[in-house]
Structure 1
Amino acid sequence: MNETSLTVLSSVLVGLIVLSAFFSSSETGMMSLNRYRLKHMAKTGHKGAKRAQGLLQRTDQLIGVILIGNNFVNILASAIATVIAIRIWGDAGIAIATILLTLVILIFAEVTPKTLAALFPEKIAFPASHILGPLLKALYPLVWAVNLFTGAILKILRISPEDAANDHLSREELRTVVNEAGALIPAKHKDMLVGILDLENVTVNDIMVPRNDVVGIDLDDEMETILRQLRSSQHTRLPVYKGDINNIQGILHLRSASKLLLQEDINKAMIMQLCREPYFIPESTPLNTQLINFQKGKRRFGIVVDEYGDVLGLATLEDILEEIIGEFTTDYSATSPDIIPQDNGTFIIDGATSLRAINKTLGWKMPTDGPKTLNGLITETLENIPETNVCLKVAGHRVEVLQIKDNVVKAAIVHPGRRKKRSLL
């Protein structure tokens, strides 16, 4: 073998190593592509994304053509390197060629190109699709034959490609994607997206206004009392009942009642004519279902009832929306009369405040799988209704009962939970 032949073989060997690096980087780049970003780019008309998406629709064929090409060039490179090594070093060239070629392929045709492809998959995969597409068509019979044997082996192992995980994200996976989006999604928008995902896990019972806090019109009251209530009410809609809240007659919208207030002779029958039929909601209804029900029925207000039909409270469309977008006030702890911050870091909290509202407002983790309000949590922990002001520990927080009235904890002082000290060692 003359020097010219040796030079030609060396050039071919370098070209084969470059081809090996191409196939290795193409495989990693294609497999590392973000499928959801790829679909988005393809929909917007990106040609490289469309080609890559087409190749990835049959992953077995894509991997087949890449591995056929990669193994072919590696084996051919090994043969040529052996010939060159024997020409230079004689019989010892076989061992030398094996060691040197292994190192060269490992560094320049495997680790380096695959690392680059993993870091920048789009920059590698999109240009590579120009070559892989025609190559797949040219080698399709060979790829088909290889996949045929591969499929037979998988059947023997009782493995079906259909059993593989699909590209659909579960709710928890989508939550992780949203939380890991970083600066791409503003924090407020993240909270809203997570709030939508959480709607299924929250029931109407968790966000309703409790029965004790429901403001309504009692038809058994004097007409003067009713009119005074209509003029001073801070609510847009009021339930109308007779004697007891369980005996609801209808829902009155104050916009309709405002016309009555201009008249002189007003009676209860005229008020009832303006009432809309009450809409009842089972307490266990998930919020995502109730949101759709409100939309279908063109409702914004519903009465929450238990399995026996007794009224537990009321829920509004605004209550559900607040679970998604948060409170409509910018600083709930500063403006809410239910949670009043103190100078010493404690909070005076109304006993009827829901535990979910406390957790969302103050970032705490009080249990919500049992009682729904602070009063309920305190009485459950004590296993009785406190007769005097007591101090107890609830869910890691020190709670001091401040006011008790009608067998209900009206207010309590709650201390923030202690944070664990970080070790300096």
Structure 2
Amino acid sequence: MPDDSSSSAADSGGRWWRGLRALFAPEQEPSLRDQIEEAIEEHDAEGGEDDDLSTAEREMLRNILHFDERNVGDIGVPRGDIIAVPETIGFDDLVARFAEAEHSRLPVYGEDLDHVVGMVHVKDVFRIIATGAPKPETIAGLIRQPRYVPSSMRIIDLLAEMRETRTHLAIVLNEYSGTDGLVTIEDLVEEIVGDIEDEHDEEEEDLLIPLGDAIWSADARAELEDVARLIDPRLADIEDDVETLGGLASALAGQVPQTGQILAHPSGWRLEIADADERRVKKLLLHPPAVADEAEGE
């Protein structure tokens, strides 16, 4: 049986040490955010099965806890991957562009993409087609106003602003007021719940198809993260702020490359443009580095 005097001395020593530590290094009370995250981590570490929160729910909670740490410049569609239309486009061409892009909203630009004047919603276009109304000579009457936000804006502030103004698309501006990208309300929601796939989203295997001899057929929309994982991590090693193969090709060319053009990647890979128009790259062929190049790198 332990001696009471020893126990009392130990308690006194413990209180003295905690007091001394608080004097020189006062501890701050953990925030509610820290407490919730710590509780989730402890639960995951214990691996308990009896739980009223599913794995998906716990992951969403983690995302919510860090939701205000990211800026709009960190998410959404980068400039190189924006599908937009000029304000001079005809109605029939606009319909064709919507069918090709499979988006519900398309930005509209004036002189160039740095001068976005608005956006067009597909339901306004469909209403004209469905009712048999006369086709407008210009799309000026169809243009709505999106939000224009700096890339440094917090995503939680943008979500609140979009909800208040009932706007679903924002044009992200850089420090020179040029277009840096765009963010939809779906992009913001995905930061909490994860990727939202719909019937138009293609599977990863359809975007990157091996052809033999280490050659790949690739959709320009394939994300560099997937390219790095499936093909070669060096292909994603580029200083430019791009996220897709199409963006990578445009960054390497310094402009939108045209069909038949072959671009050299620093890793030795060659990007052959299989299909493109004046606005964007659509399909590519990825040719591996020559054997001699690989041997020199070893």
Instruction: Give the TM-score of the pair, scaled to structure 1.
Output: 0.47
Rounded to whole Å, the distance in 1 between the matches of 2:202 and 2:92 is 36
Q: 1:285 aligns with which of 145, 150, 153?
A: 153
Closer/same/farther in 2, CA of residues 317 and 174 from structure 1, 3 Å limit = farther
User: What is the aligned partner in structure 2 of residue 71 from structure 1?
Assistant: 4
Contact 1:178/1:194 (<8 A) preserved:
no
Aligned match of 2:208: 340
Give 3-state SS (helix, strand or coil) of 2:114's partner: strand
Query: Equivalent of 2:45, from 159, 167, 180?
Result: 180
Residue in structure 1 matching 2:162, options 291, 294, 304: 294
Deviation at 1:310, TM superposition (A): 1.3
| Contact 1:334–1:340 under 8 Å retained in 2 | no
- Map of 1:237 onto structure 2: 105
How far did 1:361 drift? Answer: 9.6
Distance 1:188 1:335, change over 3 A: same
Judged with a 3 Å threshold, the aligned counterparts in structure 2 of structure 1 residues 161 and 392 are, in CA distance, closer, same or farther, namely closer
Contact kept? 2:272, 2:286, Cα under 8 Å:
no
More helix by share: 1
Alignment-mate amino acid for residue 245 of structure 1: L
Counterpart of 1:422 in structure 2 is none
One-letter code of the match for 1:180? A
Q: Give the aligned partner of residue 255 of structure 1.
A: 123
Q: How do 1:250-329 and structure 2 match up within 5 A?
A: 250-261=118-129, 262-268=131-137, 271-329=139-197
1:389 to partner: Cα distance: 5.5
Specify whether residues 266 and 379 from structure 1 end up closer, same or farther in structure 2 by C-alpha distance, changes over 3 A only. closer
- Three-state SS of the structure 2 residue aligned to 1:312 is strand
2:234 equivalent to 1:371: no
Post-superposition Cα deviations, 1:219-259, rounded to whole Å, max 9, x if no partner, equal: 31334323544566622122233353333332222223322
Q: How does 1:377-392 map to 2 (within 5 A)?
A: 388=262, 390=264
* Higher RCO (Cα < 8 Å, 6 or more apart): 2
1:391 is displaced (CA, Å) by 6.5
1:402 aligns with 2:274: no
**Contact preservation (8 Å) 1:351, 1:373:** no
1:200 Cα deviation (Å)?
Answer: 4.2
CA distance 1:220–1:391, change in 2 (3 Å)? closer
Structure 2 CA distance for partners of 1:354 and 1:307, relative to 1, 3 Å: farther
AA aligned to 1:166 is E
Q: Percent identity?
A: 21
Shift of 1:341: 4.8
| CA displacement at 1:316 relative to structure 2 | 0.6
Aligned pair partner of 1:166 in 10, 15, 29: 29
Cα distance change on mapping 1:175 and 1:400 into 2, 3 Å:
farther
For residues 63 and 77 of structure 2, the distance between their equivalents in structure 1, rounded to whole angstroms, comes to: 19
Q: Which runs of 5+ in 2 are unaligned?
A: 289-298
CA distance in 1, matches of 2:238, 2:36: 21
- Report how far residue 315 of structure 1 moved: 1.2
Task: Give deviations 1:127-174, integer Å, cap 9, x for gaps.
Answer: xxxxxxxxxxxxxxxx9xx8xxx68x987x584499234243279757
Q: Counterpart of 2:74 in structure 1: which amino acid? A: D
Q: CA RMSD in A?
A: 5.0
The one-letter code matched in structure 2 to 1:266 is K
Higher gyration radius (CA): 1
The number of equivalent residue pairs is 267
TM superposition shift of 1:280: 0.9
- How much has 1:199 moved relative to structure 2? 3.7
CA contact (8 A) 1:354 1:372 kept: no
> Unpaired segments of 5 or more residues in structure 1?
1-16, 21-69, 76-142, 394-398, 416-425
- 1:39-86 deviation digits (Å, cap 9, x = unpaired): xxxxxxxxxxxxxxxxxxxxxxxxxxxxxxx726979xxxxxxxxxxx
* CA–CA distance in structure 2, aligned partners of residues 237 and 357 of structure 1: 26
Task: Summarize the Cα distance change of 1:260–1:374 in structure 2 as closer, same or farther, 3 Å threshold.
Answer: closer
Q: Is the 8 A contact 1:391 1:401 kept in 2?
A: yes
Aligned equivalents of 1:304 and 1:162: distance in 2?
Answer: 43
2:164 aligns to what SS in structure 1?
helix
Amino acid across the alignment from 1:308: Y
Distance 1:187 1:241, change over 3 A: same
Structure 2: how far apart are the matches of 1:206 and 1:219? 28
Q: Does residue 1:215 correspond to 2:83, yes or no?
A: yes
The alpha-carbon distance between structure 1 residues 292 and 223, as it changes in their structure 2 partners (threshold 3 A), is closer
Who is 1:110 aligned against?
none
- Match in the other structure for 1:246: 114
Do the aligned partners of 1:302 and 1:315 also contact (CA within 8 Å) in 2? yes
**1:360/1:391 CA distance change after superposition, 3 Å:** closer
